[in-house]
Structure 1
């Protein structure tokens, strides 16, 4: 039934009068916030039906209310610029489709406002689940999901508002640090030469990798140099600047470098490209990330690969348990690049 006055637009007061609801209840339903304020679904549907009859413009969140099953699975992540996040997205898409779901993946560029906006939009489309990858503070997004009765899982970085599946950063960092220490000693260099470069101070992944770095030294009864750890961020330009500064102080590059991400490794390559070729032969490098092209670099490099397949599988297993109170933290082991190469090549041939 349309409004009795064709020239007049319907308002929330009209809807409130026809449904016997308060204007605040109508407003919350039309804004898609009915579940958060514990409004009954029956009441919300009645208000929506009335709004449609009166020609009221219902927003995206409210329109999604009536879809009992959308078949959509959502994931948000910071970006696609490295193999880890790209691998998470690809594996998520594959595993979602294998479960009869249609995957939606959105990059947020680490902007908190964009993260909230994208989450709200995906919830308005009634995604059946949301994987939240690489968000430094996922709890507000988990809360939005809980209010909409949509299960969420945190990946890569943990949060308090939902279960989390993350790489075992500490153990992985300890293992690759031990490899680099052995290589330095075999070349006759001091362990004081080993530097951990990259990452963000007070961020979970970085702090765990720092702890693992220290664990490897402690296991040998020694400690890293006082200036061995530099959290210069993840981007290539920052790593390049940090290495340039160290080289200026030392008169040469450090003999041992553990780069905290593949993008930080790009900064190392940019920096080394400015030096004589012989300088490449003097260093050993580790990277807490993996890319097959690194095998062709003209220096000794050891790469640690995060197991994206296991991360996504564990996340779907948590979704299938359907436990809203679950706040568990699952740690997924890492492996050295060569352990995964055969499986990766097989997958490439299959595509």
Structure 2
């Protein structure tokens, strides 16, 4: 006890004062690039209704108009097929046809289109058979088409997963020396996915020849854009990744085509990726299984009907003497012919071959897959002989 008391009463000398810490100032920091040129315009870029439309190619306008009319009829026919039980589901792009068509027409034959599940119209405008474009939504034969035939990647149902694939293909093409650009389409809801971030980040770091087209149609199913992001626009997100962002009126087919064509050309000459936001609106419900009246009012939809992409282009072409009643009639008749053929072919029951389960899985089948295919073939042969 005495020793403890003695130790506790011992006076401790204060420690020697240490010199004050003075950190070395860091080198002067400057951003690697000036963010100013990467920022999108304050308002969506437009051509229709402005002086810029005077320089638009009349042949391009006619082609855009024909594709828009055909696309509107395609959407209506596909929606009707769901009600007839010929399609399991259909996500309509009614009201968004301008962005869909412009995306397809902005690419060269050697380029690749990476669509989302809603972008069947873009695939058809690219040259894909309308029936094959709907086969996945019918529930048979894998993706429904050979992606290499028209260079259209499989329609991606998981949100934004096609974006890293587009970056990988574009980067690989550049490493091989191929003059190829990838255009990846995604909805505003897809920008909330991690795949979106990863794709844009890698694309900018690698300076990959890829263009990202965000069709901002106002809703991720029932979730409005304001509940997804606080960014001034989705195009502003480009700055954070080090690429330019462009904001365009998604219902102005000429404007979207011009912006995408410029972005594709920039990517092709080694300028790197671009993020394009097309401001549009989903007139129909998310799919035929959705009740849009639960989260938006009729007045909102009607306001966007007045900004219909077909009416906008039709009005401009008529005023310029590029389109007359005969031209309108010809476009409508061509669209109706397409719809009739689509309806007839989709009403025929598909011939399903169970062996297709093993087709188009690998370029060269694995040993395990060959064994499974042989087993199924033996079972099918036994059933046919019974």
How does the TM-score come out when normalised to structure 1? 0.29
Higher relative contact order (CA 8 A, sep 6+): 2
Structure number with higher strand proportion: 1
How does the TM-score come out when normalised to structure 2? 0.27
